[in-house]
Amino acid sequence: MSVHELTRAEARRIAVRAQLLDCPRPTDLFDVVRRLTLLQIDPIAAIAPNADLVSWSRLGSSYSPAELATALQNRTLIELRATIRPSEDLALYRADMADWQHGELFGWRQSLRQWVMDNDACRRDILAQLDASGPLTSRDLPDTCVRPWKSTGWTNNRNVSQLLEMMVLRGEVAIAGRAGRERLWDLASRVYPDDQVIPADEALRTRNERRLRALGIARGRGPECPVEPVDVGTAGEPATVEDVKGIWRVDPSQLGQPISGRAALLSPFDRLIHDRKRAAELFEFDYQLEMYKPVARRRWGYFALPILYGDRLVGKLDAKADRKAGELRVNAIHEDVAFTKKVAAAVHDEIQDLANWLELDLRLAH
């Protein structure tokens, strides 16, 4: 197979188009999630919850968070390991779930399974409680673990919550809904669709193909990521990108397609820029989420939104939604390249649209 030779601009346009960030905008939430394959769930909501912000950036102000809540309630979309996915995609993970119970595991996966086995009595207690009373929050479930969960981070001794996460990997429990921000857990058999299991090799191939379609262009191999990989295996076709080392994989259906660009404000967790190395290589975009940095060391702000215009990431928006004051407060617009009048106008229109969608007054810093 010949190797496609792409310019950086061509690679960027493929990535932007694949992520539904060109014109015309999509119009249906389910189609967006199916195309992107997932919406990441994150508790930080300096502007809006990530899943809503990503949806708005594609659909515009016609999108209502109530649409997402309804889709989760009727389970056309489901929560799976801090992501929202089409329920039909669960069949692609069933074989992996079986492997967590009975397959051959190595390294850290084996150590996790051993921890679950050491606390098998607690696992069984949780299943029995959910069977009798579910759905329940983690606080309502018994902690009878005999080997506590050890961590240097915030999860230390959070035995039930960690055990539940591993029981998700095993396909035993699932998130049935939410009570406010708290997850409600139930038996997976009462939450997940009863679809036929897809064999592991076929499921992996399909997941890689769908991930490449969502990204447009990606590396064939990359660092291991615990929830969603950034690489795509042998999906697609090989390609090189000018002035960037190594071989990429590209979705051939995206090659040579025109793009009609627009301005977009992106969540820091948006899949276009989630792989920071890819963003640097293809977009020459320098970005870090700075909310964990001391204020004096921040370059762009607590929760700066990357700014896309056409096929370039042109800056960052330092803004915060102050709902008590009823304002979307813009502290600064950082221009990576000097904005032309056309770019500045398009970016301002998008900021105003964000304020309108949030039902907040726009306040610009002087």
pLDDT, tens only, 27-64 = 999 999 999 999 999 988 899 999 999 999 999 999 99
pLDDT at position 105 over 90: no
pTM: 0.94
Sheet with 39-40, side-by-side order of all strands:
39-40, 83-86, 77-79
CA 96 – CA 338 distance, rounded (Å):
48
* 275 pLDDT tier (thresholds 50, 70, 90): very high
Q: CA-CA distance, 78 to 349, in Å (whole number)?
A: 33
> Using CA atoms, how far apart are residues 264 and 132, in angstroms rounded to an integer?
48
How far is C-alpha 257 from the geometric centre of its chain's CA atoms?
26
Domains and CATH numbers, the chain: 106-190 (1.10.10)
Closest by Cα among 283, 261, 267, 264 to 347: 264
Give Dmax over CA atoms of the chain in angstroms: 65
Please tell me whether the peptide bond between 135 and the residue prior to it is cis, using omega within 30 degrees of 0. Answer: yes
Predicted local confidence at residue 366, as pLDDT: 65
pLDDT per residue as tens digits for the range 165-192: 999 999 999 999 998 889 999 999 999 9
Helix (H, G, I), strand (E, B) or coil at 245: strand
